[in-house]
Structure 1
Amino acid sequence: MKSLREEVEEIKARYGIVGRDRELAMILSAIRANRHVLLEGPVGVGKTLLARSVSEYMSRDFIRVDGDERLDENKLIGHWDPPSVLKHGYVESAFVEGPLTAAARKGGILFINELNRLPDSAQNALLPAMDEGIIGVPHLGQIRAKDGFLVIATQNPEESIGVTRLSEALKDRFVLVKLDYQSQEEEEEIVRLKSGVKREEIVKIAVSIARETRRDPAIKRGASVRAAIDMAVLAESSEMDWHEIAMMVLPKRIELREDAVGSEEEVIRRIVDRVLSKEEVFQQARGIQAPR
């Protein structure tokens, strides 16, 4: 039998995951213990990748839904097809199962991306399924989940725009795995792997710019490694300078504070200048920079 460490290394190799040893071990252990898992962290830290990779590694059906205020209780559990009901009555073939019911019947994993964007009715519908493996459907009765049914969900930090606070009852059904941004070295490796860019100076600058947005006092929400990947690809395949590249990639991926000094473009330009002015980085960057 493989050790937990060996399984983590196999998952990383199979699915191209950089780092995250601790988090992978926690998710694996939780699923083996039949615990529902809540992955909490900012956008772009790999929550979905980890959940899908572990589920596939464990040969579990993986049914994904995205949190949305329109995903109410009926859409989550399922609904009756009106024409079929009129013709045949409330027979099982007239019931159109939702993702929660499908995962329960298969003994699979229901993956809910951004759980804290679900309306209260959908959150409440999860409770009996997670507690007792039971889903109640009017006119059909109770559906019992097969062994293996679990919920893995993600949530962004509660201060993020558009999210609601989870009820204490729902939070109490999960074990929590927190994820944060990774180290500079790991993010550089991710950019190399996902972008295919080989030039070290490009990778280093792209990652440094993205990371600097998370530290800048004018920015409430910084960019993830996805932004660094896009900047690296653009730098490799075009003759644009870093200011132009950053202005293409960053505006929709950062959020300025209300008291920020300067416009969005001015803040981004300051960040790029700050990264390029660091002597070690600037010496590497000179060969690919157009005049500023």
Structure 2
Amino acid sequence: MSGPPAATEPSAVLGREREHELLVAALDAGAHVVLEGPPGTGKSTLLRAVATRRDVPFVLVEGNAELTPARLVGHFDPAQVMAEGYSPDIFIDGPLVEALRVGGLLYVEEINRVPEETLNVLITVMSEGELNVPRLGVVKAGPGFRLVAAMNPFDAVGTARISAAVYDRTCRIAMDYQSAATEAGIVALRANVVAGVDGAWRGEVVELVRRTRSHADVRIGSSVRGAIDLIGIADRLAAARARSLTDWHVGLDAALVSLSGRVRLAEACTRSAEQVVREIYESVFGAEPSGETDGTEPAPGEA
């Protein structure tokens, strides 16, 4: 008797049990999928976990304006063409042909950054289940071939609107940020290189990062990666300054380094990212303690 279907297996990504179930069900049904959500919500981690459990090859493609059809499909080696002609043996598979041949999962990150002519190649493959490559012939999709694409719906810089033809050939799974408890669990796992982190302080770090997503001056806030980096940097700073990991100034500097580059400010905001991050930091950890220094040099009275 066979075991339970793959869709009932728990997700390897914290807080993504439902999305794991939906993704497996869609892939098992033969569908191609778009994972739509902001950065740091576990899209690629979820798909890698699914590929591992399904025991199918995983082919990653970074979506950007440089992803031409030739880079996606592959090409003949020019030097060997001069010597041997257009032989199938000298064709260098691109990620799409590789995934087609082995029946794997082709994961296209940031699909809304991919040029239209390259998208048209993907649309053809999704529709026909095969690809006609000039001088090579028809490459048919292996039984397990699926296209899974990811996109950040809030990032409009350097991106294009995905055509209805893509959406018509895919199923969409929306992935928003996880709950505070789940993000705290992710940080606990990922920041485990830092020993003895106080759970309450770690929760405040997660809260700090989550508040970047709702601040009036912030258009796009930080993902949970900001909290992971903040803890790691605070740990190193605390050691360098001989201060506690939870020292106010240590935390502030770690927050500025970890978050100021991750937040995207609203166009109407006249302040710097550092100023906004400090305001959010003070809303969580309180105002700067009076009579204290930032720890870079001894405070009055210290040896």
Q: TM-score, normalised by structure 2?
A: 0.87
Report the equivalent of 1:235. Answer: 234
Q: Deviations over 1:248-269 (max 9, x none)?
A: 1112101111111422221111
2:229 is aligned with 1:220: no
Instruction: Letter of the 2:256 partner, please give it.
Output: M
CA contact (8 A) 1:45 1:224 kept: yes
Q: Rate the CA distance shift 1:212–1:158 in 2: closer, same or farther, 3 A.
A: closer
Following the alignment from structure 1 to structure 2, what is the Cα–Cα distance between the partners of residues 8 and 46?
Answer: 17
Shift of 1:235: 2.5
Counterpart in the other structure of 2:206: 207
Aligned match of 1:193: 189
Inter-partner Cα distance in structure 1 for 2:154 and 2:127: 24
User: What is the rounded CA distance, in whole Å, between the counterparts of 2:216 and 2:53 in structure 1?
Assistant: 41
* Equivalent residues of 2:261, 2:273 under 8 A apart: no
Secondary structure in structure 2 of the residue aligned to 1:162: coil
C-alpha spacing 1:66/1:5, structure 2 compared with 1 (3 Å): closer
1:49 equivalent to 2:45? Answer yes
The residue that corresponds to 1:268 in the other structure is 277
Say which SS state the counterpart of residue 215 (structure 1) adopts. coil
Instruction: In structure 2, give the amino acid aligned to 1:43.
Output: P
Give the C-alpha shift of residue 8 in structure 1: 2.8
Query: Quick one: structure 1 residues 18 and 291, their matched pair in 2 at CA, closer, same or farther if it must change by over 3 Å?
Result: farther
**1:253 maps onto 2:262 in alignment:** yes
Structure 1: gaps of 5 or more residues: none
Asked whether the equivalents of residues 38 and 153 of structure 2 are also in contact (C-alpha less than 8 Å), the reply is: yes
Give, as a single letter, the amino acid of the residue that structure 1 aligns with 2:141. A
CA distance in 1, matches of 2:32, 2:293: 53
Structure with more of its chain in helix, by fraction: 1
- The equivalent residue for 1:82 is 78
Deviation at 1:237, TM superposition (A): 3.6
Residues in 2 aligned to 1:122 and 1:147: alpha-carbon distance in whole angstroms:
23
Deviations 1:217-271 (A, max 9, x none): 0000100000001112223343252221111111210111111142222111110
CA distance in structure 2 between the aligned counterparts of 1:128 and 1:86, rounded to whole angstroms = 30
Q: Give per-residue Cα distances to partners, 1:59-116, cap 9 Å, x unaligned.
A: 0100101001111001101112111111111110121111000100101111111111
How does the TM-score come out when normalised to structure 1?
Answer: 0.90
The number of aligned residues is 278
2:98 is aligned with what amino acid?
A: A
Q: Is the 8 A contact 1:158 1:165 kept in 2?
A: no
1:164 Cα shift? 1.1
Kept in 2: contact 1:134–1:145 (CA 8 A) = yes
Percent identity over the alignment is: 35
Deviation per residue, 1:27-82 (Å, 9 max, x gap): 01011111111100001111000011101110010010100111100110111211
Shift of 1:183: 0.7
Letter paired with 2:135: H
